[in-house]
Amino acid sequence: MKRTTILLSALLLAAPAAADEFTEADLKRWQAEFQTVVKRGRAAFTDPKLGSNGVVCAQCHPNAANTHPETYPKFQKQLGRVAELWEMVNWCIQNPLEGEPLAADDPRMIALQAYINWERRGAKLAPGKH
């Protein structure tokens, strides 16, 4: 294939797809799945198994208080750089809870963030804010 042909094919493939179609039933199912994960996150907030010393998230962050997900990413002095929310969750797991950090895509990490974001829904996005 000539270079221009390859370029043209790439452009065609990258053309915006038609908007996804979904039904009321899909919406209901997706919302239910999301709430299931939020529920797991809420449970994790009082789960001593995330750490090693019996301390749980809810002791310092009842109802996800003072988690400020709407301010991420932002500079965090504990990490010395601009970080994402999950990295501060790991900081708390490793420090106050003396536990092992979780991978960003660990279902428990996703659940913790789903719960935090749900509790803080409606807060105005303010990336970088302290």
Give contact residues for ligand HEC (rule: CB under 6 A): 50, 55, 57, 59-61, 66-68, 71, 85, 88-89, 92-93, 96-97, 112, 116
Burial 14-31 (b: 16+ CB within 10 A, else e): eeeeeeeeeeeeeeeeee
Q: Shortest gap between Cβ of 130 and ligand HEC (angstroms)?
A: 8
Residue written as tokens 């420090």?
Answer: 95
Q: Measured from the CB atom, is 9 or 52 closer to ligand HEC?
A: 52
d(CA 94, CA 100): 6
Q: Shortest gap between Cβ of 30 and ligand HEC (angstroms)?
A: 24
Q: Measured from the CB atom, is 4 or 66 closer to ligand HEC?
A: 66
Contacts of 47 (CB under 8 A, 6+ apart): 56
At position 109, the amino acid (one-letter code) is M
* Residue in the shown chain whose Cβ atom is closest to ligand HEC: 57
Q: Measured from the CB atom, is 38 or 89 closer to ligand HEC?
A: 89
Q: Measured from the CB atom, is 114 or 116 closer to ligand HEC?
A: 116
d(CA 13, CA 33): 31
